[in-house]
């Protein structure tokens, strides 16, 4: 059953909860907490102040904050202003932030005092970034003149009331996802597409409801977290404790303390929890009714051991940013196939096709997974050609290989795309290659994913040195560290005489992976 009552503009949903459960806490972190009675006027005030600052419907506002209550308030306030939220990793480099600010033509940015100096550099090169709003995190003396204070905007009444646009079909979020081109693509998502996942997946399948208390370490700039741990919390009226980052000890402590009913994560997190529990036999999590996994393939043995050790169901699923997250999920009730990512979400249509012919394959046969449904993206921002390649006749071609059994349970078997998935984080090899090739001692290079026992895979780089130069591995890693987020850093550098390529110049990556397995 699809919970259609949850598909509504976020403003009215917030007002509904403010009227019916004003004292209930909505979100909290290590620094603060906000109730539903407080969240509605806070986001209304912020929306009004954004409008007073000149933000028009459809304008983009960058969210450059750590996981926090303020992040959620900033996101909701932006949407209530009729603007588009553009989440950016708080660990992103200047180059990565600048690309997103430029590509989305952001008119405002909400960040912290800690990032004030970086934002000042952005403003110097991006005159369209006129409004800077700073939270109190960090040294207040770092704030530049003309910056607005987030706390004051949330607390004080603006001239304008929030727009709270009735339409929920226009883009409200641009979530950047890595692509094989190396340039991040901005995925345009609407409130309807996001809330449809809430109504068709999280509420009916995982049972998310107003009585739940979610503990989330997921990074909010990802679509998985944005959908489940921000939008869906508001839609259902649940409560959530937000962790700034994943910490095995902190997660274990909070779950053992009781009171948490839902814990979402990625496979790497559940692996680390199992490792920690081996030193503490018999540990239990009082009140925890379900754990959820997405972002990468969950090995069946890990899933089984987790459930046996902790006595709680761990539901594996498969989702992608272009479908507002979830495509499939295992159910709390009924049978499951361990190692599969479950059944297609109700209302979503999936097919597995032969990539060469486009024809459907038989059950048990591997092919490319294509999907169609109300949760499909509006397209890639400013990339009509890439949108046309990805969405054909209404079907989104995922680039992922899968197979389905006779009962419809899907298993992801590989990727046509070349993305490396490190602990649930997508990494485009071409982005690292572009960065490495900018080093003066690098003539040519190629990046592949190397197996890792905990993270699934990590990037390693094969390098052809430029004649007459000496390539020092530490220098290349430091060069990358200045330009890439930490999770994208190559974990090893292999010097080779040439990079294997096809006649058309494409890298033959499987040959490089063969080198890894033979060494």
pLDDT of residue 76: 98
CB 156 within 8 A of CB 170: no
Q: Which residues are within 8 A (CB) of 87 and not within 5 positions of it... i.e. 6 or more apart? A: 63, 75, 173, 175, 176, 220, 221, 222, 226
192 contacts: CB under 8 Å, gap ≥ 6: 7, 168, 169, 374
Q: How far apart, in whole angstroms, are the C-alpha atoms of residue 313 and residue 331?
A: 10
- Report the C-alpha gap between 512 and 82 in whole angstroms: 48
Question: What was the pLDDT predicted at 182?
Answer: 57
Q: Per CATH, which fold does 420-518 belong to?
A: GMP Synthetase; Chain A, domain 3 (3.30.300)
Residue with token string 């559940």? 270
Alpha-carbon span 196 to 376, nearest angstrom: 10
The residues near 225 (Cβ < 8 Å, ≥ 6 apart) are 216, 218, 219, 264
DSSP per-residue letters across 155-194: HS--SSPP---S--SSEEEEEEE--TTSS-EEEEEEHHHH
The pLDDT assigned to 142 comes to 56
* Whether 149 contacts 133, CB under 8 Å: yes
Joined tokens for residue 439: 């080093």
Q: How far is CA 391 from the centre of its chain?
A: 21
Beta-strand pair 84-87/60-63: parallel
Give me the average pLDDT of each 10-residue run along the chain (519 residues). Answer: 94 97 97 98 98 97 98 98 97 94 97 93 92 87 77 96 95 82 84 98 97 97 96 98 96 97 93 87 94 88 92 95 96 90 95 93 94 97 95 94 93 79 85 89 91 92 91 94 94 92 70 82
Structure tokens at 159: 């001239």
Q: Which residue has the tokens 């998935």?
A: 421
Fold of 4-198: Rossmann fold (3.40.50)
- Would you kindly state where each structural domain of the chain is located, as residue ranges? 4-198, 420-518
Specify whether the CB–CB gap between 293 and 270 falls below 8 A.
Answer: yes
Helices and strands, counts by H and E, the chain: 16, 27
Report which secondary-structure segment, H or E, holds 333.
none
Map residue 12 onto helix, strand or coil: helix
**DSSP H stretches of helix in 259-354:** 267-277, 300-310
Alpha-carbon distance of 361 to 391, in angstroms, equals 20
- Helix, strand, or coil (residue 326): strand
Instruction: Return the exposure string of 469-482: e unless at least 16 CB atoms fall within 10 Å of the residue's CB, then b.
Output: eebeeeebbebbee
Cβ-based neighbour number of residue 503 at 10 Å? 5
**CB 123: neighbour CB atoms within 10 A?**
18
Token pair belonging to 12: 């009215």
DSSP letter at 198? I
DSSP string, 343-377: EEPTT-EEEEE-TTT-PBPPTT--EEEEEESTT--
Beta carbons within 10 angstroms of residue 196's beta carbon:
25
Supply 328's token pair.
């499939």
CA distances from residue 314 to 298, 303, 407, 458 in whole angstroms, order as listed: 10, 7, 20, 25
Identify the three-state secondary structure at position 496. coil
3-state secondary structure of 504: coil
């Amino acid at each position: 059953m699809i919970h259609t009552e949850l598909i509504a503009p976020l403003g009215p949903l917030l007002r509904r909860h403010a009227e019916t459960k004003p004292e209930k806490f909505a979100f909290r972190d290590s620094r603060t907490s906000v109730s539903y009675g407080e969240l509605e006027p806070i986001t209304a005030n912020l929306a009004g102040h954004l409008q007073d600052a000149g933000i028009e419907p459809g304008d983009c506002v960058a969210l450059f904050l750590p996981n926090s209550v303020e992040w959620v308030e900033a996101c909701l306030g932006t949407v209530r202003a009729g603007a588009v939220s553009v989440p950016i990793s708080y660990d992103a480099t200047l180059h990565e932030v600048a690309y997103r600010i430029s590509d989305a033509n952001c008119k405002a940015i909400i960040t912290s005092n800690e990032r004030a100096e970086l934002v000042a550099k952005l403003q110097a090169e991006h005159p369209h970034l006129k409004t800077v709003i700073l939270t109190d995190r960090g040294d207040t003396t770092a704030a530049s003149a003309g910056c607005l204070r987030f706390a004051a905007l949330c607390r004080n009444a603006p001239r304008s009331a929030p727009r709270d646009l009735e339409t929920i079909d226009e883009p409200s979020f641009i979530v950047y996802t890595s692509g094989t081109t190396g340039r991040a693509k901005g995925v345009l998502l609407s409130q309807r597409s996001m809330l449809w996942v809430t109504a068709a997946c999280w509420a009916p399948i995982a049972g998310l409801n107003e009585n739940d208390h979610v503990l989330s370490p997921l990074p909010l700039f990802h679509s998985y977290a944005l959908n489940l741990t921000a939008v869906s919390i508001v839609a259902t009226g649940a409560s959530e404790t937000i962790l700034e980052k994943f910490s095995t000890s902190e997660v274990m402590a909070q779950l053992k303390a009781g009171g948490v009913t839902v814990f979402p994560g990625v496979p790497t997190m559940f692996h680390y929890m199992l490792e920690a529990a081996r030193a503490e036999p018999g540990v239990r999590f009082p009140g925890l009714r379900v754990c959820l996994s997405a972002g990468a393939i969950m090995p069946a043995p890990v899933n089984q051991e987790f459930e046996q050790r902790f006595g709680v169901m761990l539901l594996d699923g498969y989702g992608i940013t272009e479908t507002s997250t979830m495509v499939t999920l295992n159910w709390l009730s009924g049978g499951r196939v361990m190692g599969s990512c479950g059944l297609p979400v109700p209302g979503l249509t999936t097919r597995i096709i032969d990539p060469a012919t486009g024809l459907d394959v038989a059950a048990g046969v591997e092919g490319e997974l294509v999907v169609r449904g109300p949760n499909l993206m509006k397209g890639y921002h400013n990339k009509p050609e890439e949108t046309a390649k990805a969405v054909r006749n209404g079907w989104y071609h995922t680039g992922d290989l899968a197979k389905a059994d006779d009962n419809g349970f899907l298993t992801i078997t590989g990727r046509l795309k070349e993305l490396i998935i490190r602990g649930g984080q997508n990494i485009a090899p071409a982005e690292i290659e572009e960065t490495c090739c900018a080093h003066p001692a690098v003539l040519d290079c190629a990046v592949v994913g190397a197996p890792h026992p905990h993270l699934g895979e990590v990037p390693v780089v094969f390098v052809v040195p430029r004649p007459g130069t000496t390539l020092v591995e530490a220098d290349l890693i430091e060069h990358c560290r200045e330009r890439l987020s930490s999770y994208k850093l190559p974990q090893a550098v292999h010097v080779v005489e040439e990079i294997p390529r096809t006649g058309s110049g494409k890298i033959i990556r499987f040959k490089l992976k063969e080198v890894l397995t033979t060494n």
